[in-house]
Amino acid sequence: MNWSIKLMKMLLSNILTYKFFREISFHFILAFLISASLFLEINKYFDFLLVASVTVYLRNKINFPIFYVLSLFLWGLYADILIGYPIGYTSCIFLFFYILSEFCSLFVESRNIKPRFYIFTLGLLFFLITEYLIIKLSFKVNLSFDIMLIKYFLISLIFYPMCKISLLIEPYNEK
């Protein structure tokens, strides 16, 4: 009985002091990136939603996985209502990168940046091509391939620094 109370206390303090704070910080970063994508003019060239997706992909240690998945879905809805995208669009992007990250974690260690980068770039390429095809088929519009490539390389370019920061923030050996 005594040890269970101790365990409860330890868990609670752990959640409240560190894990909980980290969870809140992550969601605040997501909210900030979504909000910034609304107000900044640079967003035309540098997509903040894709930057948010990189953040989702780079998350190593998830404390409350089911809550996390649901929150990604809700943040997607929040972004769609705010920016004016069709409802469900951003949730799809976030969940796609979450599943990609989980798939990646099965085979690659979180400190191993290179393989993670390759999987990410392949995933991003798959996502952009799918999106391009949907736009082409739904709206019958041929989008500029150059602009898509620039966005692809810009996002790939920020992957390394973001990955380094994420590894610094999120302890790799945490149990």
Partner 1 sequence: MRSLEHNSFGFIKNNYLRTIGIAVVLGIISLALIYIDYTNKIYATSRANIRDVILSTSSVIATPIILLENGLLTARKINGLYRDLQEYDDEQALISSTFQELSTLRLKVDKYESDLKIIKENKFESISVEIFADISNRYFSSILLKAGSNHGLKENNIIVSSNGLIGRVSEVSQDISRGILLTDLSSRVPVSISDKDIQGILIGQNLKKLRIFYIRELSKININDLVMTSGKGGVFPSGLLIGKVSKINNKDSFVEIDIFEDPGNLSKVRIIKYELVNKADEDAFK
Interacting residue ranges for partner 1, rule: CB under 8 A: 28, 31-32, 34-41, 43-44, 47, 49, 65-66, 68-70, 72-73, 76, 78, 81-89, 91-92, 95-96, 98-99, 102, 105-109, 131, 135, 139, 141, 143-144, 151, 175
Rounding to the nearest 10 degrees, give the CA dihedral for residues 108, 102, 133, 37.
-100
Nearer residue to partner 1 within complex by CB, 1 or 40 = 40
Least Å distance, CB 81 to partner 1, is: 5
Distance CA 18, CA 175 (A): 13
Rounding to the nearest 10 degrees, give the CA dihedral for residues 164, 17, 53, 100.
80
Least Å distance, CB 169 to partner 1, is: 20
Least Å distance, CB 104 to partner 1, is: 10
Nearer residue to partner 1 within complex by CB, 2 or 39 = 39
The answer for residues whose C-beta is within 8 angstroms of residue 81's C-beta and 6 or more apart is 87
Nearer residue to partner 1 within complex by CB, 12 or 70 = 70
> Which parts of the chain fold into alpha helices (H)?
2-14, 20-39, 48-58, 65-83, 89-107, 113-139, 145-169
Residue 151 near residue 47 (C-beta atoms within 8 A)? yes
Least Å distance, CB 148 to partner 1, is: 9
Q: Nearest Cα to 56, choosing from 107, 94, 4?
A: 94
Residue 62 near residue 22 (C-beta atoms within 8 A)? no
Nearer residue to partner 1 within complex by CB, 105 or 156 = 105
Nearer residue to partner 1 within complex by CB, 69 or 119 = 69
Least Å distance, CB 20 to partner 1, is: 19
